[in-house]
Amino acid sequence: MPTLAYRHPETGEIVDLSIDRDGLAHSVHGELACIDCHRRSYRRYPHPDRPAPGDLDCIGCHEDDDRNLSRGWVDIDAEFKRSVHAVSDSPKAAGFSCHSCHDPHRFRPAAVGEPIAQIVRNHNGVCLSCHGSLSAASSTSHRWLPNRDAHWGSVRCVDCHTPAADFANHEVLPAEKSEKNCVSCHSADPQLLARLYRFQSEEDIARHGLFAKAVFNEAYVVGMSKSPALDRLSLAIMGLMVLLLAAHGLGRYLARRANRMA
């Protein structure tokens, strides 16, 4: 309940013990009782400061279970262990775990068919909860990216900050190894198709047919938004122009020759 809290006997700080009831109910764990998870470590009182290792971590419970997930837990775990957060020796990153990004009381993976803009907002919210200072207008770190805010509304941090070959988007790379190449997205076959837009539902893809790529994101992505029909039309128009120019040139040449002879 919202007011459940206690005063830490040593530090005197108020520790909030409430969790968001609606958040839990709507999460993947909504069916579980508190003690389904808070079990082993919490039999005795006072409870330990930290749960026993393996007791409360996502992998400890999920390693052998791949239901409903497009990507496996083992891959996610392996990628996370290679990420900047896991290998950083900065004191700020000490104790970094799945829980630093995922609240087990609220966690719900994005579903196919959810609006892309909302998925982008949710997933970027995870990163910005710590890296929020990057959103400030004065932040210089993404200056090279034109119209940063439009990009951040349409693509996710992980689309640039994890390797394209990554399966589960969990190996967050150091800054200097992150995606800076405009063409990986602004091309006819961008990496976004395999990553972000896999959340697009089959019906949407079918409905939009050939123009799927153009409207995938409700965004106009230069290069990606190509239509083969338009390409052929513009080639035909160009060919026609060249013919017209040639005919015009030939006409003038013949006219001059006729004049000179006269």
Binding positions for ligand HEC, 131-160, rule CB under 6 A: 131, 134, 141-142, 144-147, 150-155, 157-160
Tell me, what amino acid is at 211?
Answer: F
Name the residue nearer to ligand HEC (CB basis): 9 or 237.
9
Measured distance CA(223)–CA(209) in Å, rounded: 18
Which residues in 71-110 contact ligand HEC (CB under 6 A)?
Answer: 71, 73, 76-77, 80, 84-85, 88, 90, 92-93, 98-102, 104-105, 107, 109-110
Residue 3 interacts with ligand HEC (CB under 6 A)? no
Residue 215 interacts with ligand HEC (CB under 6 A)? no
Which of residues 116, 120, 171, 192 is near ligand HEC by CB under 6 A?
192
Which of residues 128, 164, 193, 215 is near ligand HEC by CB under 6 A?
128
- Count other C-beta atoms under 10 Å from residue 199's C-beta: 19
CB of 189 to ligand HEC, least distance (A): 13
Residue 118 interacts with ligand HEC (CB under 6 A)? no
Measured distance CA(194)–CA(224) in Å, rounded: 13
Measured distance CA(251)–CA(262) in Å, rounded: 16
- Count other C-beta atoms under 10 Å from residue 52's C-beta: 11
Contact assessment for residue 220 and residue 214, using Cβ atoms and an 8 Å cutoff:
yes
